């Protein structure tokens, strides 16, 4: 038995995502846009550890950590509070977030934090919500949060939160071109409305892409990559056109702005090719950083659960 005075800690890992295809419609009365997207979870991950505490506190480190708000607007903290309210838990939690997904990059790093925090607190507090209930709660925190729980490959409809897992064969190699200045998702959607007004028909997931994923054909996947928000992201960050062109010239099978951007995702033939594309982007000076990743990878999962930790100075159990 672990004495109750000994604090327990739960560590959860949740992935970032690339939207392989994104079709966007006209905004609904609540301001959200109906969309159809094909998500792939990739090997850039957020790690969130949850430890019993009196109140709700947060510490963030890792990639671009200085750009993450640590006040009550932080999505991981909001997730923990939302679960506590929903499940009638009186305990608090200290969350420690280690970032591996670019901040405000269109890869849903904040959503991954929220998904990881939900699962970590659910495990720490032993609320034991079924995955579907956790996913519903996730959808109240943000459109991309349910996918960070689910992972792998899925079609997202509605706001992007209504998910159907999709078949995907093989491993895909990506080069990601990062930008120091993130784009605001609401602003990109607003610009999209101004530029295009959205399609009148119900958005549908790209069939050619789903077929290509199902048969594990990277050339066809590359050819089918597409994003309705790309023109809006380029309007707000015109230099991205050059980033896209350099990756294309380096032989990428396909290049796309991920989600609302500004991260540019280039599909490579192999891990070695992904590194070569990264080198070309760096040499051309068209990004503020490059990363390589593979996908698909699983959704949020507990990697260390309910481990008894040695109390540190200042810990209260």
Q: Which residues bind ligand C5P (CB under 6 A)?
A: 31-33, 35, 142-144, 159-160, 185-186, 189
Nearer to ligand C5P, 31 or 314 (CB): 31
C-alpha distances out from residue 48 to 9, 11, 57, 66, 71, Å: 10, 6, 13, 16, 16
Q: Which two tokens stand for residue 27?
A: 């905004």
Question: How many C-beta atoms lie closer than 10 Å to residue 90's C-beta?
Answer: 6
Give the residue among 10, 141, 154, 120 at the shortest CA–CA distance from 78: 141
Nearer to ligand C5P, 91 or 136 (CB): 136
First CA to last CA distance, the chain = 15
Least Å from the CB of residue 216 to ligand C5P: 29
Nearer to ligand C5P, 9 or 144 (CB): 144
Least Å from the CB of residue 35 to ligand C5P: 5
Least Å from the CB of residue 77 to ligand C5P: 15
Nearer to ligand C5P, 158 or 216 (CB): 158
Least Å from the CB of residue 229 to ligand C5P: 10
The residues that bridge with 39 in the sheet, in sequence order, are 19, 154
The residues that bridge with 294 in the sheet, in sequence order, are 173
CB 147 within 8 A of CB 163: yes
Question: In degrees rounded to 5, what are phi and psi of residue 86?
Answer: -60, -40
Active centre residues (catalytic): 17, 144
CA angle 24, 185, 278 (to 5 degrees): 95
């Amino acid at each position: 038995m672990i004495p109750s005075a000994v604090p327990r800690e739960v560590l959860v890992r949740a992935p970032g995502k690339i939207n392989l295809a994104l079709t966007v419609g006209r905004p609904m009365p609540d301001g959200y846009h109906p969309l159809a997207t094909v998500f792939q979870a990739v090997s850039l991950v957020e790690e969130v550890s949850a430890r019993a505490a009196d109140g709700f506190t947060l510490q963030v480190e890792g990639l671009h950590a200085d750009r993450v708000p640590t006040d009550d607007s932080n999505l991981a903290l909001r997730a923990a509070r939302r679960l506590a309210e929903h499940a009638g838990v009186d305990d608090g939690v200290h969350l420690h977030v280690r970032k591996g997904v670019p901040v405000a990059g269109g890869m849903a790093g904040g959503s991954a934090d929220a998904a990881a925090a939900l699962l970590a607190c659910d495990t720490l507090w032993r609320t034991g919500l079924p995955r579907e209930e956790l996913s519903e709660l996730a959808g109240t925190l943000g459109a991309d949060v349910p996918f960070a729980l689910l992972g792998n490959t899925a079609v997202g409809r509605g706001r992007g939160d209504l998910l159907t897992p999709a078949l995907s064969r093989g491993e895909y190699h990506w080069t990601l071109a990062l930008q120091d200045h993130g784009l605001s998702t609401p602003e990109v959607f607003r610009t999209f409305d101004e530029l295009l007004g959205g399609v009148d028909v119900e958005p549908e997931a790209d069939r050619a892409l789903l077929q290509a994923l199902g048969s594990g054909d990277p050339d066809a996947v590359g050819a089918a990559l597409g994003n309705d928000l790309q023109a809006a992201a380029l309007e707000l960050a015109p230099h991205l056109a050059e980033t896209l062109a350099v990756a294309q010239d380096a032989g990428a099978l396909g290049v796309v702005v991920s989600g609302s951007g500004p991260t540019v995702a280039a599909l490579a033939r192999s891990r070695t090719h992904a590194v070569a594309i990264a080198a070309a982007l760096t040499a051309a000076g068209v990004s503020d950083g490059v990363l390589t990743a593979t996908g698909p990878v699983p959704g949020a999962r507990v990697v260390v659960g309910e481990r008894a930790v040695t109390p540190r100075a200042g810990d209260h159990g």
